[in-house]
Chain A
């Protein structure tokens, strides 16, 4: 089956407490490119390997966390089709006019049973600094800092993840690549709409709408090591790593932006196809599932969110 319908995570809008500190972190240290600043003060960023105009939006306010995650769909007609399916499943759908974010077409939005706002859109401008297309060099200009290539996925915390699972698989045609099943029920799910091991993931949590991390893809384990060097050189707050996840098999560092929002740099991960079985972890080996080398969860994984 070709990838169609929902194509990929397209953007994430994060709340930051101090924009200047956030830009030093995301642009100078992580290597995202600054695209523009909107009239309302929101700042738009992108990874060097992304064709779309932007993928990260920062909004300064007095509480950290995530406002919204957007997924790009293949065509405008998909928006009508998904709106009908989302309403039929039982969620209210609202509309965001084209241009509310510069260069982005109309969006439809809804709130998941876990309390997170998700939007879908089909149209976004081609970046003015996109990866080369004709006789393409490996990059338009040499990557900076941690060399984040693109926004890869997010992990979100909230209640009702069983319902989220039903919604994403029944309505948005995602697959469940991997899950953690404990004796008292589902703890966590890794969902994909593509060949990636995950495009969005959820962990069960009492408080709705919480943000665990936004992940940015790096090309290799060597780049993860280089990212770790940058984190220590600039005293960036590290949660854990460099290490590896058993789940997804990705190589990783978890760290925090200057507002306490967790970021991840992520390399590797297996290739998923929709006919693959769902991989499963239980309470016997959960530590290895989350952090494959430490083989034990750290306190922060389950408790520190924004």
Chain B
């Protein structure tokens, strides 16, 4: 039987299977209307640890992370609980908050075109 953990994010709670990433669980929950996905909070990007848009802060719970680009999460930040949701695999229930990296001038904000 597959173990599932509950992910708490932005007032939503959704199940995440034992070996899957938080972003995969979030996308599935969004598909069933159980959680909001996208927007400015935790967007879905490359799903492969490279682009950094799904950066989160783990407030509570145990987890492991796969390979993620150091351009978006430094070793120090990693120790402080910062991770990319697409590389984040829960080992217990998790409580998360979005942690988008502050960037320069957003010339490419889609809403400004």
A interface residues with partner B (beta carbon < 8 Å): 17-18, 62-65, 157, 182, 187, 203-207, 237, 239, 256-262, 283, 286, 297, 299-300, 302-306
Contacts and interface: CB of A to CB of B under 8 A. Distances in A.
B113 interface: yes
Contacts of B44: 300
Contacts of B69: 17, 62-65, 259-260, 306
A259 B105 CA distance: 26
Interface string B95-113: 0000000011111111001
Given A63-B70, A64-B71, A303 B43 contact: yes
B4 interface: no
Given A286-B113, A299-B110, A304 B46 contact: yes
A161 to B, nearest CB: 11
Contacts of B109: 302
Contacts of B49: 17, 64, 259-260
B53 to A, nearest CB: 6
A64 B45 CA distance: 14
Nearest to A262: B46
A303 B45 contact: yes
B51 interface: yes
Nearest to A301: B110
A259 B108 contact: no
Contact of B67 (A17, A187, A203, A204): A17
Interface in B60-113: 67-71, 103-110, 113
B72 to A, nearest CB: 8
B104 A206 contact: yes
A18 B67 contact: yes
B38 A299 contact: yes
B50 A205 contact: no
Contacts of A206: 103-108
Contact of A205 (B53, B68, B108): B108
A262 B50 CA distance: 9
Given A260-B46, A299-B43, A304 B71 contact: no
Given A237-B48, A299-B110, A303-B110, 5 more contacts: A65-B50, A260-B48, A260-B49, A302-B108, A302-B113
A152 B22 CA distance: 34
Contact of B46 (A204, A207, A256, A286): A256
Nearest to A203: B108
B8 interface: no
Contact of A258 (B38, B48, B107, B113): B48
A207 B67 contact: no
B104 A207 contact: yes
Contacts of A257: 48
B108 A306 contact: no
Given A17-B69, A206-B103, A283-B113, A260 B45 contact: yes
A258 B50 CA distance: 8
A297 to B, nearest CB: 6
B49 to A, nearest CB: 6
11 contacts: A17-B68, A64-B49, A203-B108, A205-B108, A256-B48, A259-B69, A260-B46, A260-B48, A260-B49, A262-B46, A299-B43
B45 A300 contact: yes
B51 A182 contact: no
B28 interface: no
What are the 3 closest A-B residue pairs judged by CB atoms, nearest first? A260-B50, A260-B46, A64-B50
